[in-house]
Amino acid sequence: MKRNPKEVETTHRSMSRRALLLGGIQLVFAGGLAARMRYLQVDQADQFRLLAEENRINIRLLPPARGEIFDRNGFSLAHNSPSYRVTVVPEDAGDIGEVIEKLSQLISLDPEDIERALAEMRRSPPFLPITLADQLSWEEISKVAVNAPALPGITTEVGLTRVYPQLGDFAHVVGYVGPVSDYDLGKLETPDPILRIPRFQIGKVGFEAKREDSLRGSAGTKRVEVNATGRVMRELSRKEGQAGTDMQLTLDAELQNYVQARLGRESAAAVIVDCKNGDLRAIASAPSFDPNLFVRGISVADYRLLTEDPYRPLANKSVQGTYPPGSTFKMVAALAALEEGLIGPEDTVWCPGHLEVSGRRFHCWKRAGHGHVDLNTSLKQSCDVYYYDLAIKVGIDKISAMANRLGLGIRHDLPMSAVARGLAPNRDWKSRVHGQDWLVGDTVNVSIGQGFMLASPLQLAVMTARIATGRSITPRLVKSIDGIEQESGEGLSLGLGENNLRMVRRGMYSVSNDRRGTGYRARIIAEDMRMAGKSGTSQVRNITAAERAAGVIRNEDLPWERRDHALYVCYAPYDNPRYAVAVVVEHGGGGSKAAAPIARDVMLQALYNGTPPLAAYPKGDRSRIKAQQERLERERIRPQQGRSSDRA
């Protein structure tokens, strides 16, 4: 049928409009798609390239070499040593139990290490390596390497671990490192990412912990290529980190070694301070322990032995332990009275063996009394009644202020754990802490270093050095940092009257060199090495009136934990003070019997910078001293010289 030309024209116009509309829509869609493709491929190319690179390249941290610690003469106290270890990648190992069984046939595996490794596997991705055994010998690591084809997932590695070559000599000072724990991370607001490296070691106690930030160093980085699951395919580049700072301490390893050996198995502490500059030359606490046990994590059995020992080897008695200073405090009370002008060298006090104060009888250690006593005799024979009378005249606030001035009752700023403040009480302290008024009986007790009064061996050594020099000696532990000498602790003048100091020093000289002095048996007879000292005995129990009437029980007849503490402080040479020493023997009994001989021996060792000649000792002691020197020489594990060069 032939269509009307007019209808054909109308239809053609309608189709043309539709075609144009459809073509326009297609053109807009194609243009938008092209614009989007250009945006993604050109404008956003850098961003997507970065995302792709991040998916392919990972940046991982490299642990730095820890800074090393040395004594004043270059002996290594803590260094890094190559450590061979065996790791396993769980996803490559297949049956972990079977692989561990095969490995145990080649090397000895610690059950606690295996339990720790299995626990670590449960909380870590399966492609991360887990340490199964650490600090292996070359022979052991060789066995594993040779049998590697039969041990799927097992890899041998070499790293650095901390070593303490002096064993227990510096355990309480240097401390030790150990693996980072959840507790360690919880103490930090923003933990350093390096702390999350498996088995990374940080300082746990002692100098290692106090100077952790400097010793740790800063991490390095390595760029590795990983696949889609995160497994490392190859290492692309590496930037080593910055090693930690090396530290040199003021301590003398040879002297420290001797002091530790001389203390032996006593529950005791000794501190030696250089009177010239405040350097701590030795600071020992006994018994000690091997810090190397803690580096990888100490076993339950070994830890139990340390914690259940009644002599408390883990406690640093030299700075952490505080004790009633006993009669070693009498110089403080004497100086307080002298500075106030309340006593003179010729003034005497009658000692009948006790003094009545507020209806209570305070006894002298000598039951029959000392008779008429002046200042020199009061120190030489350690008369208690003289100081009871003196304390009532002076008052507790003046005595407490003098104690602070001489370094007691204040915390000395040393990079060691748990440095104690001690206590030099006064009226305000008792009111604030106990809510009670201060009593005159409290003052009487403090005057002989009992009652509330507490001091550490470190504080007693500082007190002695300040009396010897008249300067505010400040104890110094760090000699240099990366070779840069640190500030001296020689201090300024205390502002005390020189005549007053001279009278107290003369009394201390009489203690050691007068035949009636309490420290005479532990004297030094070498003329140029003469020593001034003071013994002390502090009670740890109350003596009842009934016991006094029947006769006070001797220390030797009491259980060890109820015996008195023994103390001795001294300095030498008397005319030109070089060193000050403080010794405390827990439950040792009398200070002149238990602590004074130790103080004399370590003082001579310091003065002679080695084994002293027998001529420095009294004739009657020489055969015993010779046998003691020979025994200590056999038993001592001498310090090891050498600087570690492992800075990988």
Count of beta carbons in the 10 Å neighbourhood of residue 506: 16
Cα(421)–Cα(418) distance, integer angstroms: 9
N residues, the chain: 648
Q: Is 522 exposed, middle or buried (0-12, 13-18, 19+ CB in 10 A)?
A: buried
The b/e string for 603-632 (b: 16+ C-beta within 10 A; e otherwise) is bbbbbeeeebeeebbeeebeeebeeebeeb
Residue 425 token pair:
């009480």
Straight-line distance from the first to the last Cα atom of the chain, in angstroms, rounded to the nearest whole number = 99
Sign of the CA dihedral running 67, 283, 296, 190: negative
Place of tokens 């507020």: 358
Cα(365)–Cα(358) distance, integer angstroms: 20
Find out whether 51 and 229 touch, Cβ atoms under 8 Å: no
> DSSP label at 42?
I
* Residues in CB range of 476: below 8 A, 6 or more apart: 250, 277, 278, 279, 280, 486, 487, 488, 489
Residue 265: strand, helix, or coil: coil
Catalytic residue numbers read: 327
Q: Which residues does residue 454 pair with via DSSP β-bridges, in sequence order?
A: 423
Nearest to 505, CA basis, from 338, 372, 389: 338
Residue 565 token pair:
């503490």
